[in-house]
Structure 1
Amino acid sequence: MTDRISLGSYLTVSISDDKTVAYLQFSKEDDKFKCTIEELEQFIQHQRVKYGIDRNILQQIADHPERFYIARTPVAYGQKPIDGVDGQIEVLLKVSDDKNLKDSETSQEKVDHKEVNNLNNVRKGQIIAKRTAPEPGENGTSVTGEVIAFKPGKDVKFKAGKNVIVNGEQTALYAALDGMITITEKKKINVFPIYEVNGDVDYSIGNIDFVGSVIIRGNVLSGFRVKAAGDIRVIGGVEGAELDAEGSIDISSGIIGYNKGYVKAGHNVKSSFIQEGHVTAGEDVIVSQSIMHSNIRAGRNVICNGTKGLIVGGNIQAGEKVIARTVGNSMSTVTGIEVGVVPTLRNELADLRNQLKLQIDHSEKTEKALNLLNLLASQGQLTPDRVAMRVKLNVTQKSQINELSQTKERILEIEKSLEDTNKARVDIIRTIYGGSKIVIGRYTRFVKDTSERVSFYYTDGDISMIPYV
């Protein structure tokens, strides 16, 4: 019989990184090798494997070792932990009418925008959302017999905004008045009344800065500003004006920007066309007809696939997808399409890097001052004023270290998200002309020849072009 010590010259035991599988592998082949199941079990136990040993496979190895010479063989299985379930906030009422938005892109029928049907109306006392508490998980066991702790479910709390009430049990959120539900960019749930303008935003009205949602049953003329904590709906058009909404913006006619002013929304921007405009949306920009010589920034998608669905000139930037019928034109007008980048994160990253430089500079100055005071303290030369300064600087230094750590963590988090191009895609339903430029993440592809019905996506360090399905 082969003793345990000699088994070590034939066999090795390895354990997976998560400690839930143990493997046995022959380090050399020998036709004279023999052992019993008991010897194998004692051997792997001596290698710290205590739990989940598969005696059936050990018996097979003992009976026919030659069958297991090449590959490593699992001989013990632990129990993986079952992670807890995160708590959830479920919004019970319809907060956006995305179906109607998408249907209107492909429909030739005119919509009566005078009927405010999709502005998320709610009655006083009506339940808006409910909260589900997190569920606990279950610990696992490693092959070494140790407990593998489960990841607990995260709790979640209501982000209560204006005119809403949370019950005492923190399980339900209700409207405090009749109005319209709006979820802002920071996911706060609000109920706002609606402000309506029965005509144009011009000198007779002036600029608008409203805590709720705004409906304008006319045009917003050049040079004027409309700001809303909720949504903005313009039944007419927008001409070189500034529109800023924490919710969504819906413009029935279109945007003629004259390369001045802007349209900015926390969620979606919908318009029939955009010409020489600057448009930013936290989520989607939805255009039914055309985007001409404009700068568009969408946190998620830019969709221009209506009857015309044309994008020519300017620069289109989306966090995930750009979908258009036609990009560019026969005159090879330079048209930039960039996906896989969240514009707000790009700006935040630049700000954080500048902030980090200042924080490091302040931290170094604090450290130099402390070093000097510590030197004086070691020589017994600290006056009462300097003792107080030393205490204050120690507190300041701890705060600076914490701020530096938080800034670095956020920078790493954003950099990691910018590398994720799995969802990034450009879909061309009809034609893309030469002169167009496709950028996905950090990679660029110049389109030289006209192509029909294609999609662009990132794979293996390059941008690939495939038939559009």
Structure 2
Amino acid sequence: MNGYFRLVNGEKMSAIRMIPPTEGGKPVDINDVVEYLTMKEYACDLPALKRAVETAEKEETEVLLGTVTRYPERECYKLTITPDKMQAHAKFYASSVGGENMTPQELVQDLLMRGIKTGIKKDEILKFFSKRQYCENILVAEGRPPVQGKDAYIEYKFNTDKKAKPTLKEDGSVDFFNLNILNHCNKGDELAILHPEVPGEPGSNIVGDKIMPAEVKKVSFDYGHNIEMSEDGRKLISLVDGHVELVDGAVFVSDELVVENVDNSTGNIDYEGNVQINGNVFTNFKVKAKGDIMVKGVVEGAHLEAGGNIIITRGMNGMGKGVLRAEGNIVAKFLENVTAEAKGYVVSESILHSRISAGGEVNVDGKRGFITGGRVCATGSIDVKTLGSEMGADTVIEVGADPAVKERIKQLQQQIAEDMKTLQMVQPILVSTKQKLAQGVRLNDEQIKYVQTLVLANEQKTKSLEESNKELQELQKQVGNPLDTVVRVHGMVYPGTRICIGDVSMVVQKTSHYCRFIRDRGDVKMVPF
């Protein structure tokens, strides 16, 4: 039992008696004693009180409070309500010797009188009155917090991560049978399940105020053609065989065109969905798809353009005229003499004498893993096993700037040069004409029309020059401040290879192994892997 204190009111004097704790209970706290005496308006000798409290840790003691006779004090309590009005605690003080104790019914009635309408903890109250523990906060009332509801959400039954990388075999080569970047679906497949919102339940504090739960969010399906919604509105179901993907929150299913080869028997292909080619794509043919293009054979000097991904199982030798353009990613076993542009990443086991541009990363760290000759550019990092060649093939690697941004910079620089050339031709004529008019020279109708044309050209080119210069400055800032990109060589890099990071570059001078190229203080530096 905790230690406690109680008043002793005699006929000629008043005192406070300290009772020590038993069975490991808490001793009397001086702050509780002072608080109680202040509440009851008793004067006290604080030093004497402190000494008595220290003594009361082991034995009963008393401190004289005065010679004024007082009536016995009833058992009482101090009520504390939390700021959010969710809890009320009572700290009980013992009655004086000869004073009356409170009853549970009396306490409950008193709490109601104080405005506590709900959440009274009758079990806790009865527990106190059955075994009193004074000077300790007892939870006598507790509000009911609101039960929060659940937001509605959509469970997609396919992979929605567009950054998912191809599966690699143990030897590091790409597993073209398990790419994990295309989501095949069949007619009748469930594509998504809508889990509706679950409303919350209001709560209340101890004074009876209602506490509302947070508002739950509702969602609804957004989907394109080749999909139907179930009668209960809870599921999306594919109506065709094809590929499913999530684009800006909407589910789309592209049906699939399957051909054996792209050659004279098929001609060029321009298809709204996905295209699967079980064989090869021969030279000079074009394949255009709004979805993905999957080629299970080889691609020669052809032109492939996809609104999604391009996957070439056996690789591509573009013969210097083959082109790949993908809004998504490009994955090919090898790329040789190819121009390839992907807004996502590019993955290949080898890249030879090609011009590669990726809005994401380039990974050539597979079984063979070499980049030799050509130019490989990536907004993200580049990973390669072997970079350059012993024969000194001209190999350029660029990271840290979007290739599309660099191309736009070239276009702007060309536009600025053309605008300045036009202005240098037009402005002297306008100045000369202005001088002639000031001298009183009159122009004929043909001359007036010509001058008006020059004035309009001057205005247009001046405005174009200002806009181009402004855009050029912004883009040059991006190139000058590349992202935290790096070129990682997991094997060997040969001399003569040029490494560009943002707007700075270096040429490798000697053969090095297992290294990284980073940008540090305005320079490209080679550091250990």
Shorter-normalised TM range: 0.5 to 0.7
Q: Pick from 377, 380, 384: which aligns with 1:324?
A: 384
1:167-192 Cα offsets, whole Å, 9 max, x none, are: xxxx99944523778899xx9x9968
Pair 196,390 (structure 1): closer, same or farther in 2 beyond 3 Å: same
Q: Pick from 253, 267, 270: which aligns with 2:328?
A: 267
User: Which residue in the other structure is 1:117 paired with?
Assistant: 183
Q: For 1:206, what is the secondary structure of its paired residue?
A: coil
Q: Which amino acid aligns with 2:505?
A: Y
Pairwise CA distance, 1:391: 6.4
Q: Pick from 339, 342, 345: which aligns with 1:284?
A: 345
Q: Which amino acid aligns with 1:443?
A: S
Between 208-217 and 266-275, report the one with greater CA deviation: 208-217
Distance (Å, rounded) in 2 between the aligned partners of 1:92 and 1:401: 54
Distance (Å, rounded) in 1 between the aligned partners of 2:220 and 2:469: 37
Pair 433,377 (structure 1): closer, same or farther in 2 beyond 3 Å: closer
User: Which residue in the other structure is 1:310 paired with?
Assistant: 370
Distance (Å, rounded) in 1 between the aligned partners of 2:259 and 2:414: 46
Distance (Å, rounded) in 2 between the aligned partners of 1:251 and 1:382: 67
User: Which residue in the other structure is 1:413 paired with?
Assistant: 474
Q: Pick from 276, 287, 298: which aligns with 2:358?
A: 298
User: Which residue in the other structure is 1:443 paired with?
Assistant: 505
Structure whose CA Rg is larger: 2
Distance (Å, rounded) in 2 between the aligned partners of 1:115 and 1:381: 73
Pair 396,296 (structure 1): closer, same or farther in 2 beyond 3 Å: closer
Pairwise CA distance, 1:110: 5.8
The TM-score with structure 2 as length reference comes to 0.52
Between 263-272 and 210-219, report the one with greater CA deviation: 210-219
- 1:178 matched to 2:240? The reply is no
Distance (Å, rounded) in 1 between the aligned partners of 2:166 and 2:291: 21
Distance (Å, rounded) in 2 between the aligned partners of 1:206 and 1:324: 37
Pair 113,281 (structure 1): closer, same or farther in 2 beyond 3 Å: closer
Unaligned runs of 5+ in 1: 1-90, 128-170
Q: For 1:306, what is the secondary structure of its paired residue?
A: coil
Pair 347,329 (structure 1): closer, same or farther in 2 beyond 3 Å: closer
* Contact kept in structure 1, 2:344 and 2:360, CA below 8 Å: yes
* Contact kept in structure 1, 2:166 and 2:181, CA below 8 Å: no
Q: Pick from 98, 101, 105: which aligns with 2:165?
A: 101
* Contact kept in structure 2, 1:318 and 1:343, CA below 8 Å: yes
Q: Number of residues paired by the alignment? A: 332
Q: Which amino acid aligns with 1:238?
A: V
Q: For 1:277, what is the secondary structure of its paired residue?
A: strand
Q: Which amino acid aligns with 2:177?
A: V
Distance (Å, rounded) in 1 between the aligned partners of 2:354 and 2:427: 49
The TM-score with structure 1 as length reference comes to 0.58
User: Which residue in the other structure is 1:344 paired with?
Assistant: 404
Q: Which amino acid aligns with 2:374?
A: G
Distance (Å, rounded) in 2 between the aligned partners of 1:121 and 1:229: 20
1:405-462 Cα offsets, whole Å, 9 max, x none, are: 11111221222222123423101223334554433333213141231x2211111233
* Contact kept in structure 1, 2:244 and 2:252, CA below 8 Å: yes
1:316-341 Cα offsets, whole Å, 9 max, x none, are: 22233111233345666654323234
Pairwise CA distance, 1:214: 2.8
Q: Which amino acid aligns with 2:270?
A: D
Q: For 1:257, what is the secondary structure of its paired residue?
A: strand
Distance (Å, rounded) in 2 between the aligned partners of 1:254 and 1:265: 16
Matches within 5 A, 1:12-51: none
Between 196-205 and 387-396, report the one with greater CA deviation: 387-396
- 1:256 matched to 2:341? The reply is no
Q: Which amino acid aligns with 1:231?
A: D
Unaligned runs of 5+ in 2: 1-153, 194-218, 228-242
Distance (Å, rounded) in 2 between the aligned partners of 1:95 and 1:393: 59
Q: For 2:410, what is the secondary structure of its paired residue?
A: helix
Q: Which amino acid aligns with 2:225?
A: L
Pairwise CA distance, 1:204: 0.5
How big is the alpha-carbon RMSD for the aligned residues of Structure 1 and Structure 2?
4.5
Q: Which amino acid aligns with 1:450?
A: S
Distance (Å, rounded) in 2 between the aligned partners of 1:460 and 1:363: 40
1:139-173 Cα offsets, whole Å, 9 max, x none, are: xxxxxxxxxxxxxxxxxxxxxxxxxxxxxxxx999
Q: For 2:334, what is the secondary structure of its paired residue?
A: strand
- 1:426 matched to 2:487? The reply is yes
Distance (Å, rounded) in 2 between the aligned partners of 1:172 and 1:406: 43
1:258-297 Cα offsets, whole Å, 9 max, x none, are: 333222223321112223333222332112x222343322
Distance (Å, rounded) in 2 between the aligned partners of 1:119 and 1:272: 25
* Contact kept in structure 1, 2:322 and 2:337, CA below 8 Å: no
Q: Which amino acid aligns with 1:304?
A: V
User: Which residue in the other structure is 2:93 paired with?
Assistant: none
With CA pairs under 8 Å and 6+ residues apart, which has the higher RCO, 1 or 2?
1
Pairwise CA distance, 1:310: 2.9
* Contact kept in structure 1, 2:159 and 2:183, CA below 8 Å: no
Q: For 1:103, what is the secondary structure of its paired residue?
A: coil
Pair 428,115 (structure 1): closer, same or farther in 2 beyond 3 Å: closer
Q: Which amino acid aligns with 1:283?
A: G
Pairwise CA distance, 1:122: 13
Q: Which amino acid aligns with 1:178?
A: N
* Contact kept in structure 2, 1:283 and 1:298, CA below 8 Å: yes
Distance (Å, rounded) in 2 between the aligned partners of 1:107 and 1:256: 19
Q: Which amino acid aligns with 1:276?
A: N
- 1:222 matched to 2:283? The reply is yes
* Contact kept in structure 2, 1:182 and 1:231, CA below 8 Å: no
Distance (Å, rounded) in 2 between the aligned partners of 1:368 and 1:392: 14
Q: Pick from 187, 191, 198: which aligns with 2:259?
A: 198
Pairwise CA distance, 1:306: 2.8
Distance (Å, rounded) in 2 between the aligned partners of 1:410 and 1:313: 32
* Contact kept in structure 2, 1:284 and 1:299, CA below 8 Å: yes
